[in-house]
Each structure stands twice: as structure tokens, then as C-alpha cells.
Amino acid sequence: MIQHIPEWLMVRYSKLWLKFKEKEFTKEQAKRVLNKDSALAVVLSDLRKAGWLEMKMDEKDARKSIYKLKNPETTINEEIKELGKK
């Protein structure tokens, strides 16, 4: 289920989207894009919970995660569909 995200989170999503689009990235790469944002763990967790970010385990190192943003157009369309069901 897709959820609306607050402005502070959308700003960070936008920065990540401009850099990665639908390419996979690591937490370290996201940290560089967000200029060592102290809330990085919260950003990634909240985006995942809201359905705007996919996460999987790194096949080479199970301690690490690989992230991939969902396309904003697709995500917003899914959010609109969810709102229409209410």
C-alpha cells in the first residue's frame, strides 16, 4: 500500500530520485547524496514503509541492503487509486 509522505521526506526522496532514478543504490551512496543527513536511517525506513522505496539484501554481503526507488509517477498513481477506495 502506498502512503502520502510529508514534505521533509519528499525533499529527500527527490534528491535521491535525481541521482539514482530507478537504479539500485546502497546506504553509503544515499548518504553521499543527502550530504551525510543524520536522519538517513529514518528516511530510508519511512520511504520503505510508505511504499516509495524497495529494499533487498545484498547477495554478496547479507549484512548490507540494496535500495531502489519507485518511479514517482507510478507511486502517485497508486496513491490516488488507494484514496479512491476509501
pLDDT at position 38 is 77
Residue 86 has pLDDT above 70, yes or no: no
d(CA 4, CA 80): 10
Give the helix/strand (H/E) hosting 38: none
For residue 57, what are the β-bridge partners? Answer: 65
pTM (two decimals): 0.85
Mean pLDDT of the chain: 90
Q: How confident is the model over 26-54, as pLDDT tens digits?
A: 999 999 999 877 799 999 999 999 999 99
CA 49 to chain centre: 9
Domains along the chain with CATH numbers: 7-85 (1.10.10.10)
